[in-house]
A and B are shown apart, each in its own frame.
Chain A
Amino acid sequence: MMQSEPSSWQLPPAMADTATRVDDAYNFIFWFSVVFAAAVIAITLLFVLKYRRRSGVKSESTARHTKLETKLEILWIVVPTLFIVVLFHKGFSSYIHNATAAEGATEIRVHAKKWSWDFEYPGGARSNELHLEVNKPYKLILSSDDVIHSFYIPEFRLKRDAVPGQYSFVAFTPTVPGEAHVLCAEYCGTNHSAMIADVKIETPEQHQEFLASSGKKPKVCGTPPVECTDEKWGESLFQKNACFTCHGNAGDGMTGGAKSLGPKLAGIFGKPQSLADGTSANADENYIRESILKPSAKIVAGYTNVQMPPFASLTDDQLEAIIAYIKSLK
Chain B
Amino acid sequence: MSAIAEPKSESSGNEPEAVAHVASPLIYVAVFLGLLLLTAGTVAQSYVDLGKLNLLLVMGIATLKALLILGFFMHLKWDTKFHAIVVVTALFFLGVFYTYTHADTGRRGEFDPDQGGVLDPDHAVRILPKTGEPAPGGFGASE
Residues of chain A touching chain B, judged by Cβ–Cβ distance below 8 Å, are: 99-101, 111, 139, 141, 143-146, 164-169
CA distance A165 to B126 in the complex (A): 6
| Given A165-B125, A165-B141, A144 contacting B136 (CB threshold 8 A) | yes
Interface of B is mostly: loop
Residues of chain B touching chain A, judged by Cβ–Cβ distance below 8 Å, are: 111-112, 114-117, 125-126, 128, 135-139, 141
Do A169 and B136 have beta carbons less than 8 Å apart? no
Do B116 and A168 have beta carbons less than 8 Å apart? yes
Question: Residues of A contacting B128 with CB < 8 Å?
Answer: 141, 167
Question: Residues of A contacting B117 with CB < 8 Å?
Answer: 166-167
CA distance A166 to B127 in the complex (A): 8
CA distance A166 to B116 in the complex (A): 5
Q: Which of A100, A141, A146, A166 has the most CB of B within 10 A?
A: A166
Q: How far is the CB of B104 from chain A (nearest CB, A)?
A: 12
Q: Which of B116, B137, B141 has the most CB of A within 10 A?
A: B137
Nearest to B124 among chain A residues (CB) is A165
Do B126 and A167 have beta carbons less than 8 Å apart? yes
Question: Residues of B contacting A139 with CB < 8 Å?
Answer: 114
Question: Residues of A contacting B116 with CB < 8 Å?
Answer: 166-168
CA distance A165 to B141 in the complex (A): 9
Q: How far is the CB of A117 from chain B (nearest CB, A)?
A: 14
Do B111 and A164 have beta carbons less than 8 Å apart? no
Contact partner of A99 (CB less than 8 A), chosen from B111, B125, B135, is B111
Question: Residues of B contacting A143 with CB < 8 Å?
Answer: 135-137
Q: Which of B111, B115, B116, B126 has the most CB of A within 10 A?
A: B115
Question: Residues of B contacting A168 with CB < 8 Å?
Answer: 114-116
Do A111 and B136 have beta carbons less than 8 Å apart? yes
Do A165 and B111 have beta carbons less than 8 Å apart? no
Q: Which 8 A-B pairs have the closest CB atoms?
A: A164-B137, A165-B138, A167-B117, A169-B114, A145-B136, A143-B135, A145-B137, A166-B126
Do A164 and B112 have beta carbons less than 8 Å apart? no
